[in-house]
């Protein structure tokens, strides 16, 4: 392990100036640790725009020292890398100790806007939390996380971001031998429901953890008292519920299936985390499951809001002693907040769906929304394409929509939609343009992602770079990108599966 002094000097921060508030403020929730050697590191992807926004120096990151830091095989002087401890409910069963089994929190940076961000490495080698795993990650899945997280960011959906992927030159054994890789991930924090589940069984540390999380993500709550009716911990639970309800509504509106919504993958910040087995639906299908291990469909597309509510109940349990010293009173208080979940989720989903349809929230009645979903589902219409086609229809060009839904079946719904739009006040063209600003043309289609990752694993990064360019400009129609807007061929969709922990 090399220690690199003064590396790399950025405009408003240096990596040698990495912060460590999590480690300094919270003892017992992490273990100091360092990454494995990378035999032959090679930078495969670097997010220059993100690096600059974090005040990092791009040429320095591209240098041999920089790549060594991004690979986890060198630490900047003064950094205190740790593996974070957490617990979690996985597929409903409780695991008291998970933790970063193949990841490290390198430290914290402050971005251009003064926001604190974690710099985290995934695939950096075994840690005390590795259990049976090897601690490594491979090129395909790390580029997958890079691509999909950056696509989500471009769609305006809160997410962890990807700074880089470095191929390590280490052979990693999966089904066959795969090239090893490390992803550098940036997140507003890596605090999860699972962090609280771990801390809640260890006494007073859960209070310090909650105060740390509040200061970091919901600082306005620091003004609220520690105890009593309007206490900050109940406010904290409410704020996380709100952020997560808004997040999962956004997933549902773009057809995103997370695939492994265990409580250790539910963040306190409200950012999407962990892109292992995720996928996007082509046709609207509440039962869609892609993960090879999700046999019961627990994390099916349409189950995501219900699973989130379940995860939030697990979160609430960790806060009970802080919310009220009388257990019954604490349970009553958090249950009341949790009971509000359905209407908070519905508010975000309905508001988002109304925007997708060029309507105000008031003019989208429940039946109009439900009937559209039924229509799309019945005809296996492509979810993403349908909303752009509806905007075209509104401009007087129904050709694209007619290709998705038989006109005789869509006619009566369209009539009701047009009638609802009449109350809107905006001209049809204006509404259509507003729809195009919220309805993406290009999402990371499963077959495209698959093909790009296969090529990259074989050494050809061109399809990955091209797809990244397209999905990070999701609303910008370009003639040469037409093929990226199409759903997967049937033959691909039939057998497509995703995998965890690869
Ligand atoms: P995930 O499904 O990625 O959320 O991971 C769940 C847990 O498994 C976390 O504690 C990970 O650190 C751990 N894990 C996943 N893959 C590996 C691996 N290859 N080696 C060690 N731990 C792993
Ligand atoms: Mg995880």
Which tens digit of pLDDT belongs to each residue from 385-402? 999 999 999 999 999 999
Q: What pLDDT score does 494 carry?
A: 81
Q: What pLDDT score does 76 carry?
A: 86
Mean pLDDT of the chain: 94
Residue spans of the domains in the chain: they are: 21-187, 193-349, 358-438, 446-495
Q: Which long-range contacts (CB under 8 A, 24 or more apart) does 366-372 make?
A: 368/413, 368/416, 368/417, 368/420, 371/413, 371/416, 372/413, 372/417
Q: Indicate the SS3 state at residue 226.
A: coil
User: How far is it, in rounded angstroms, from Cα 434 to Cα 432?
Assistant: 5
Work out which ligand 1 atom sits closest to the CA atom of 90: 6
Work out which ligand 1 atom sits closest to the CA atom of 265: 4
> Does 264 participate in catalysis according to the annotation?
yes
Percentage, residues of the chain above pLDDT 90: 90
Which stretch of DSSP H or E encloses residue 171?
A: strand 161-173
Paired sense of beta strands 177-187 and 279-280, if any = unpaired
User: How far is it, in rounded angstroms, from Cα 8 to Cα 471?
Assistant: 30
> How does residue 7 score in pLDDT terms, banded at 50, 70 and 90?
very low
Q: Indicate the SS3 state at residue 207.
A: helix
Ligand 1 contact, 98 CB (< 6 A): yes
Q: What pLDDT score does 324 carry?
A: 98
User: How far is it, in rounded angstroms, from Cα 177 to Cα 185?
Assistant: 24
Cβ neighbours of 64 (radius 10 Å): 10
Cβ neighbours of 402 (radius 10 Å): 13
List, in sequence order, every residue forming a beta bridge with 15; answer none if it has no partner.
none
Whole-prediction pTM: 0.96
Percentage, residues of the chain above pLDDT 70: 97
Mean pLDDT along residues 145-155: 98
Q: What pLDDT score does 10 carry?
A: 38
- In the Cβ-directed half-sphere of 205, how many Cα atoms lie within 13 Å? 20
Ligand 1 contact, 108 CB (< 6 A): no
Indicate if the pLDDT at residue 246 is higher than 80: yes
User: Of the given ranges (12-21, 109-118, 196-205, 256-265), which has the lowest mean pLDDT?
Assistant: 12-21
Cβ within 8 Å of residue 342, ≥6 positions away: 309
Indicate if the pLDDT at residue 431 is higher than 70: yes
Q: Indicate the SS3 state at residue 186.
A: strand
CB 121 within 8 A of CB 35: yes
Is the dihedral angle over the CA atoms 70, 75, 77, 82 positive or is it negative?
Answer: positive
pLDDT digits (tens, 9 = 90+) for 290-299: 999 999 999 9
> How does residue 38 score in pLDDT terms, banded at 50, 70 and 90?
very high
Indicate if the pLDDT at residue 478 is higher than 90: yes
pLDDT digits (tens, 9 = 90+) for 309-360: 999 999 999 999 999 999 999 999 999 999 999 999 999 999 999 999 999 9
The rounded Å distance from CA 138 to ligand 1 centre is 13
Which stretch of DSSP H or E encloses residue 345?
A: helix 341-356
Q: What pLDDT score does 205 carry?
A: 97
460: left (phi over 0), alpha (psi -120 to 50) or beta: beta
Mean pLDDT along residues 423-443: 95
Q: What pLDDT score does 3 carry?
A: 55
The rounded Å distance from CA 264 to ligand 2 centre is 6
Work out which ligand 1 atom sits closest to the CA atom of 100: 12
User: How far is it, in rounded angstroms, from Cα 353 to Cα 438?
Assistant: 10
pLDDT digits (tens, 9 = 90+) for 262-313: 999 999 999 999 999 999 999 999 999 999 999 999 999 999 999 999 999 9
CB 383 within 8 A of CB 284: yes
Cα–Cα distances (Å) from 114 to 86, 163, 243, in that order, read: 27, 18, 21
List, in sequence order, every residue forming a beta bridge with 31; answer none if it has no partner.
83
CA–CA–CA angle 30, 35, 38 (5° rounding): 165
List, in sequence order, every residue forming a beta bridge with 2; answer none if it has no partner.
74
Alpha helices (H) in 227-326, listed in sequence order: 232-254, 304-323
Buried b (16+ CB within 10 A) or exposed e, 161-176: bbbbbbbbebebeeee
Mean pLDDT along residues 201-212: 97
Mean pLDDT along residues 404-417: 97
Mean pLDDT along residues 405-429: 95
> How does residue 501 score in pLDDT terms, banded at 50, 70 and 90?
confident
CB 290 within 8 A of CB 257: yes
Q: What pLDDT score does 15 carry?
A: 61
Ligand 1 contact, 134 CB (< 6 A): yes
Q: What pLDDT score does 282 carry?
A: 95
Q: Which phi and psi (to 5°) does residue 394 adopt?
A: -65, -30
Please spell the DSSP secondary structure of 358-380, one letter per residue: T--GGG--HHHHHHHHHHHHHTT
Indicate if the pLDDT at residue 14 is higher than 50: no
> How does residue 423 score in pLDDT terms, banded at 50, 70 and 90?
confident
User: Cα-atom radius of gyration of the chain, to the nearest Å?
Assistant: 23
Indicate if the pLDDT at residue 169 is higher than 80: yes
The rounded Å distance from CA 180 to ligand 2 centre is 18
Q: Which of 36, 102, 185, 272 to mutate to test the pocket of ligand 1 (most atoms within 8 A of CB)?
A: 102
Indicate if the pLDDT at residue 131 is higher than 60: yes
The rounded Å distance from CA 133 to ligand 1 centre is 7
Ligand 1 contact, 376 CB (< 6 A): no
Q: Which of 100, 121, 133 to mutate to test the pocket of ligand 1 (most atoms within 8 A of CB)?
A: 133
Largest CA distance in the chain: 70
């Amino acid at each position: 392990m090399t220690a690199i002094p003064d590396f790399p000097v950025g405009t408003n921060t240096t990596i040698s100036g990495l912060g460590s508030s999590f480690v300094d403020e919270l003892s017992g929730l992490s273990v100091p640790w360092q990454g494995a050697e990378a035999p032959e590191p090679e930078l495969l992807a670097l997010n220059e725009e993100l690096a600059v926004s974090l005040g990092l120096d791009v040429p320095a990151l591209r240098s041999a020292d920089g790549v060594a830091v991004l690979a986890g095989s060198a630490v900047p002087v003064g950094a205190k890398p740790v593996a974070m401890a957490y617990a979690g409910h996985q597929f409903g069963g409780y695991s008291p100790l998970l933790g970063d089994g193949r990841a490290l929190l390198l430290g914290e940076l402050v971005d251009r806007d003064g926001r604190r961000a974690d710099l985290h490495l995934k695939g950096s080698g075994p840690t005390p939390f590795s259990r049976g795993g090897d601690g490594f990650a491979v090129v395909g899945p790390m580029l997958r996380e890079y691509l999909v997280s950056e696509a989500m960011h471009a769609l305006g959906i809160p997410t962890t971001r990807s700074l880089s992927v470095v191929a390590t030159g280490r052979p990693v054994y999966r089904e066959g031998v795969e090239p090893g890789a490390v992803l550098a991930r940036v997140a507003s924090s890596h605090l999860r429901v699972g962090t609280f589940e771990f801390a809640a069984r260890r006494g007073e540390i859960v209070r310090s953890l909650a105060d740390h999380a509040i200061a970091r993500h919901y600082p306005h709550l620091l003004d609220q008292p520690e105890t009593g009716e309007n206490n900050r911990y109940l406010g904290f639970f409410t704020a996380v519920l709100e952020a997560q309800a808004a997040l999962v509504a956004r997933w549902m509106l773009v057809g995103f299936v997370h695939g492994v919504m265990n409580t250790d993958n539910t963040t306190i910040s409200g950012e999407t985390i962990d892109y292992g087995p995720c996928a996007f639906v082509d046709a609207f299908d509440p039962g869609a499951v892609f993960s090879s291990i999700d046999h019961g469909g627990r994390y099916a597309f349409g189950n995501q809001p219900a699973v989130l509510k379940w995860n939030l109940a697990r979160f609430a349990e960790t806060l009970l002693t802080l919310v009220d010293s009388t257990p019954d009173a604490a349970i009553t208080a958090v249950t009341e907040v949790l009971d509000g979940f359905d209407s908070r989720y519905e508010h975000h989903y309905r508001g988002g769906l109304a925007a997708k349809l060029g309507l105000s929230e008031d003019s989208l009645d429940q039946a109009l929304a439900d009937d559209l979903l039924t229509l799309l589902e019945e005809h296996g219409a492509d979810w993403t394409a349908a909303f752009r086609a509806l905007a075209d229809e509104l401009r007087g060009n129904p050709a694209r929509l007619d290709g998705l839904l038989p006109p005789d079946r869509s006619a009566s719904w369209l009539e009701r939609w047009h009638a609802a739009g009449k109350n809107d006040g905006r001209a049809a063209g204006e509404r259509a343009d507003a729809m195009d600003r919220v309805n993406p043309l290009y999402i990371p289609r499963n077959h495209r992602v698959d093909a790009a990752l296969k090529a990259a694993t074989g050494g050809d990064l061109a399809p990955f770079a091209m797809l990244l360019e397209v999905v990070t400009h999701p609303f910008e129609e370009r003639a040469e990108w037409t093929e990226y807007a199409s759903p997967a061929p049937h033959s691909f969709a039939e057998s497509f599966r995703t995998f965890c922990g690869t």
